[in-house]
Amino acid sequence: MNGHEQDARVVDVALPVPLRQSYRYLVPTDMAALYPGMRVRVPFGHHQHIGLVTQTDRSLATGLKSVLECLDKKSIVDASLMTLLQWLATYYHTPIGEVMELALPVLLRRGKSTQPQAQSGCQLTPAGCTADPDTLTRAPRQRQLLQLLHAAGEHRLLAPVLCQHYPAWKIPARALAQRGLVERISALPEPVPAAPIRPPLTMLNPAQQQVVTSIRTAGSGYRAHVLDGVTGSGKTEVYLALTRDQLQQGRQVLLLVPEISLTPQLVERFQQQFDQRVQVTHSALSQAQRLQVWRLAQSGQAQVILGTRSAVFSPMPKLGLIVVDEEHDPSFKQQEGCLYHGRDVAVMRARILDIPVLLGSATPSLQSLANVRARRYQLHKLTKRAGMASLPGVQLLDISGLPTRDGITRPLLEAIARCLDRGEQCLLFLNRRGFAPVLLCGNCRWVAECRYCNARLTYHHARQQLHCHHCGARQTLPKHCPDCNSANLQPVGEGTERLQTTLEKQFPGQRVLRVDRDSVRHQGDFEQLREQITSGQAQILVGTQMLAKGHDFPNVTLVGIVNSDSSLYSVDYRATEQLAQQCIQVAGRAGRADKPGRVLIQTRFPEHPLFQAICQHDYAACADQLLEQRQQARFPPFMHFALLRADALQPELPNRFLGMAKELGSGILSGRSEQRVVLFDPAPAPMLRRASRYRMQLLAQSRQRGALQEFLRQWVQQLEKSKLGRKLRWSLDVDPVTLF
């Protein structure tokens, strides 16, 4: 060992490889000092990788490879965010390199500079400055873009701003350029001007003011708040007021939502109030746009970041408040890679930064309510709707003895007719897309099944196809039964497409609009449908849970829940909780303005306590009952779960692997005097075969989170050494939201 190697600085680097460790490298003497949170290029095997420095050390080292290049002049991931990421890797037992990738946009992971780059955009020509947008009557998109540019300072806008207001701006810009009204430009983004914060656009009512005052009084340090506000109570006004407080103190706010495309009204409210201080980030943005939002957040120019689950990792050096809207929504749980829960990560980030976090919902998760019971979270309530609106009346329709027309009873059809006669709109909720969930041969009882899954194919009438909603497989609708050659193929059951067809026949003079994943597939689709709804172009709305997510349709006075029973006896222990949340959320779409609302729920179990609670808008009673059941059954939130999943093309491999995993786990537990972790036997997943892969799972549970985590740490270390584990796919899901 020579003197140079003894004095060399050493860094630990997290690399994007599927191994749960960082790697040590020497820092060349001619390289500037490195600090945690910097990107470096290093050799790894026969390749080079870009990684993130996690730790520095001056200890003696030999035989190490050297860092090839430092890509940053200063840390781009600060100490608090680094702490969060390291906690994430530990708690969810995910490779540190995979976790570090969550904090960086793709372009930064590829070596792109953190400094602003020239962006494309467009500006008005002299002819465009004098052109009247209203003359473009036959080109509404061109007219809209021309109006945007007329309203912009210096009559120019760059891509990030254009995309926020008008995602498809490039096509009309090309047409306007051909007219000589617009020219394309490339320029560096200008700093967002620090204009005075606008006064509130709406005043808080006494109940909202009481919540805001209570949260203010709790102080600026860490405290988790739960805002339980009925639908239409004005939770957004509370968010806006608390955001204003932070901005006036020069701090930043992070607002997380389940899906940006389904919450356009919330985005609009924040942008109207805080202008360019608000930046929106989501999966539909291009990689360049995501990098731009990242830069604005890190520089502090973006004072409000509004985004989906992954926005929780946004670099915000002056973060003062985190808000999680619709905190109960399962969309906050990541389903691949690092299986983190966005809400729980938000709470941990607030704890690390010592700042408040607000979890808002009309139907708070049982997890959050259990934390309120344990006095870990503070509860605030909004029990009445804002303004003159009142909660809708809820009526149960016992359909056990009633004939239905494609799932709709006569009383519901009559209620729809009366609603339409008054010039009002109605909404029918069915959380099943497609025309029918089953295609059946009336002769031999053959059923169309997916060749890749243990699931039936859903019939889609418009496309004349059969779809698997689990693996995505599609096939053309057969004309004859493949077993008996009969042409008597019958769609059985109802989906949203069938409801739409039935209602169009029943009410021929009315337009029926369907809102589900088949009709909303691209960015901007939902905004177009929402415009048709709010403008009155459609009178009847049919949709899945996409219609239950916080939308405000003032003229919707009737809501019909077509099939509410399917989740009552599901194998998923969270199904009843989610059913209650869906029913209350979708019921909240009725009567949000000055017109009274009405909700009709079709069910064969009208005496069920859940439906009785929903009739009284008493989610708290429903939640109390479910919490009691969970406690008796030893389910979360009173028990902590971790689910080891395994899948393979060969049916025997998952069972062999999980059998071995059970033996390893039992060996770890046998050496402990106190058995605080229970390990169950391997079991088939509720859907054994999916996408041609056979799936099994093994559940570990404990009342003590710390005991479970210590067991999982040792268990994962042994599983990774297993040769059998390399022959299949396996993952560990800590705090799973479903056992399916």
Can you give the three-state secondary structure of 48-99, one letter per residue?
A: EEEEEEEEEECCCCCCCCECCEECCCCCCCCHHHHHHHHHHHHHCCCCHHHH
Cβ atoms < 10 Å from Cβ of 194: 10
Q: What is the pLDDT of residue 673?
A: 60
Cβ atoms < 10 Å from Cβ of 59: 9
Report the percent of the chain where pLDDT is more than 90: 77
**What backbone phi and psi angles, to 5 degrees, belong to 261?**
-65, -20
Which pLDDT band holds residue 439 (cuts at 50, 70, 90)?
very high
Does residue 20 carry a pLDDT above 60?
yes
Q: What is the pLDDT of residue 1?
A: 37
Q: Choose the weakest-confidence range: 71-75, 251-255, 550-554.
A: 550-554
Tokens, residue 261: 């495309």
Nearest CA among 375, 347, 220, 247 for reference residue 301: 247
Tokens, residue 510: 């009315």
Q: What is the pLDDT of residue 284?
A: 80
Q: What is the pLDDT of residue 176?
A: 94
Nearest CA among 723, 637, 726, 714 for reference residue 679: 714
Tokens, residue 648: 């393979």
Q: What is the pLDDT of residue 192?
A: 58
pLDDT tens string 284-320: 888 988 998 999 999 999 999 999 999 999 999 999 9
Higher-pLDDT residue of 675 and 665 is 665
Contacts of 229 (CB under 8 A, 6+ apart): 235, 238, 360, 361, 362, 381, 382
- Type of residue at 265: Q
**What backbone phi and psi angles, to 5 degrees, belong to 522?**
-130, 160
- pLDDT (mean) for 459-470: 96
Report the percent of the chain where pLDDT is more than 70: 97
Q: What is the pLDDT of residue 740?
A: 72
Q: What is the mean pLDDT of the chain?
A: 92
Which pLDDT band holds residue 389 (cuts at 50, 70, 90)?
confident
Does residue 6 carry a pLDDT above 80?
no
pLDDT tens string 29-59: 899 989 999 999 999 999 999 999 999 988 7
pLDDT tens string 543-554: 998 888 778 888
In this structure, the strands spanning 408-409 and 404-405 are antiparallel
Does residue 8 carry a pLDDT above 70?
no
Cα distance between residue 112 and residue 492, in whole Å: 54
Which pLDDT band holds residue 680 (cuts at 50, 70, 90)?
very high
Cα distance between residue 514 and residue 542, in whole Å: 5
Q: What is the pLDDT of residue 286?
A: 87
Which pLDDT band holds residue 103 (cuts at 50, 70, 90)?
very high
Does residue 739 carry a pLDDT above 80?
yes
Q: What is the pLDDT of residue 193?
A: 62
DSSP 3-state of 272: helix
Higher-pLDDT residue of 255 and 267 is 255
Cα distance between residue 732 and residue 726, in whole Å: 15
pLDDT tens string 161-204: 888 777 778 899 999 999 999 999 988 877 656 667 888 888 99
Q: What is the pLDDT of residue 3?
A: 40
Cα distance between residue 686 and residue 696, in whole Å: 9
Cα distance between residue 285 and residue 106, in whole Å: 12
What DSSP state is assigned to residue 137? T
What ranges in 2-65 are assigned the alpha helix state H? 3-7
Give strand pairing partners of 646. Answer: 696, 730
Q: What is the pLDDT of residue 722?
A: 94
Q: Choose the weakest-confidence range: 522-526, 635-639, 679-683.
A: 522-526
Q: What is the pLDDT of residue 41?
A: 98
Q: Choose the weakest-confidence range: 80-84, 276-280, 467-471, 475-479.
A: 276-280
Q: What is the pLDDT of residue 155?
A: 76
Cα distance between residue 91 and residue 709, in whole Å: 7
Does residue 508 carry a pLDDT above 90?
yes
**pTM, entire model:** 0.90
- pLDDT (mean) for 338-344: 97
Please confirm whether the linkage preceding 637 is cis (ω < 30° from 0).
Answer: yes
Q: What is the pLDDT of residue 234?
A: 94
CA dihedral 243, 249, 252, 256 (to 10 degrees): -20
Angle at 529 between CA 419 and CA 564, to 5 degrees: 55
Nearest CA among 272, 288, 277, 366 for reference residue 327: 366
Which pLDDT band holds residue 7 (cuts at 50, 70, 90)?
very low
Give strand pairing partners of 48. Answer: 43
pLDDT tens string 343-378: 999 999 999 999 999 999 999 999 999 999 999 999
